Amino acid sequence: MDIQDLAQRVIAGERRALARAITLVESGRADHRAQAVALLEATAPEGRQALRIGLSGTPGVGKSTFIEAFGMFLIEQGLKVAVLAVDPSSARSGGSILGDKTRMETLSRQKNAFIRPSPSQAQMGGVARRTREAVTLCEAAGFDVVLIETVGVGQSETMVAEMADLFLLLLAPAGGDELQGVKRGIMEIADLILVNKADGPLKETAMRTCADYAGALRLLRKRVYDPEGFPKALMVSAVTHDGLPEAWKAMTELADWRRAEGHWDKRRAAQAIHWFEEDLRLGLLSVLDTPDARAQINALGARVSNGTLSATRAAEEMLAHLKI
């Protein structure tokens, strides 16, 4: 594969080249990995930056229809939009979010849109690296907005927030008791809470939900990288498209302020450091993932399990075996 040629075609915005490039970064093969790193370096000098938007919401809040409506809205503003999905459970469940071809039908037909389902990979570390590398490839390809979609499961939200400039939490209208369902950790990383389905018979409930969350957000500690009035809660309807311009205005306002105040660059730098350290940890732990290491671990494990060897001593023996 001619990596320089592929890089040029990614930079020229060819969608098929971009798809191929992402397939390359997703591969687990060692030779593909070397090519992927070379590709990322060949596309990096463009220095293009998209607005990276992380988006989370549990099943049922209308994530697909929201992305479809919001993506179309952005395209109508003359912007190019990429959508990437992160679903760490897809390997287990067999399915994957965005895997359904009927999702986002209108958006997927736009020439200024690029939609990529979650790969079937079991390991969270692998999913994280693949996704952030796919994000930078989308940036190199000239996309203005990269939406990184995830489900509200496990640690995937924190992971997505660590690679996004803005983090949106999409919620459905709900009564008082159900409010407890949002994990505190998610409230703390959200920049914008969008209450979807603010239309028809649910509009009143949506208004109350929105007011409740606005109140809850005010109780949280102020973050240095938030201007006055943020984080905030807004209502949207993926069906009537009400609230989409206001939501986008809030996002650009927040992004502009963070750029002007230096928080944008600082955060991207901190995120890069985070991923460097994360990759380093994963790389170190990968020495345990060879046939020899696994055989050794199993042999020691059998002795630990029957009580003839202590966990502490077994770990020491394994480290000695690895010459560490």
Residue numbers of the site for its own copies (CB under 8 A)?
A: 37, 40-41, 44, 129, 132-133, 180, 269-270, 272-273, 275-285, 287-288, 297, 300-301, 304-307, 310-316, 318-319, 322, 324
Q: Which is nearer to its own copies, 93 or 290 (CB)?
A: 290
CB nearer to its own copies: give 37 or 187.
Answer: 37
Which of residues 132 and 197 has its CB atom nearest to its own copies in the complex? 132
Nearer to its own copies, 111 or 184 (CB): 184
**Three-class secondary structure of residue 268 per DSSP:** helix
End-to-end CA distance of the chain: 37
Cβ at position 47, least distance to its own copies in Å: 8
Q: How far is the CB of 228 from its own copies (least distance, A)?
A: 29
The sheet with strand 192-195 has its strands ordered as 113-116, 81-86, 145-150, 51-56, 166-171, 192-195, 232-235
Rounded Cα distance, 161 and 25, in Å:
20
CA distance 137 to 32: 16
Residues in the chain: 324
Q: Which is nearer to its own copies, 29 or 249 (CB)?
A: 29
Least Å from the CB of residue 283 to its own copies: 5
**Smallest gap, in angstroms, from Cβ of residue 279 to its own copies?**
3
Q: How far is the CB of 81 from its own copies (least distance, A)?
A: 24
Instruction: Quote the CA–CA distance of 102 and 59 in Å, as a whole number.
Output: 16
| Residue 21: closest CA among 41, 48, 44, 39 | 39
Shortest Cβ 11–its own copies spacing (Å): 16
Instruction: Kindly state the smallest distance separating residue 98's Cβ from its own copies, in Å.
Output: 24
Cβ proximity to its own copies, 30 vs 201, nearer residue: 30
Q: Which is nearer to its own copies, 87 or 133 (CB)?
A: 133
Helical H segments across the chain, by residue range? 3-11, 15-26, 30-43, 63-76, 90-93, 105-108, 124-140, 156-161, 184-189, 203-219, 244-261, 263-285, 291-305, 311-321
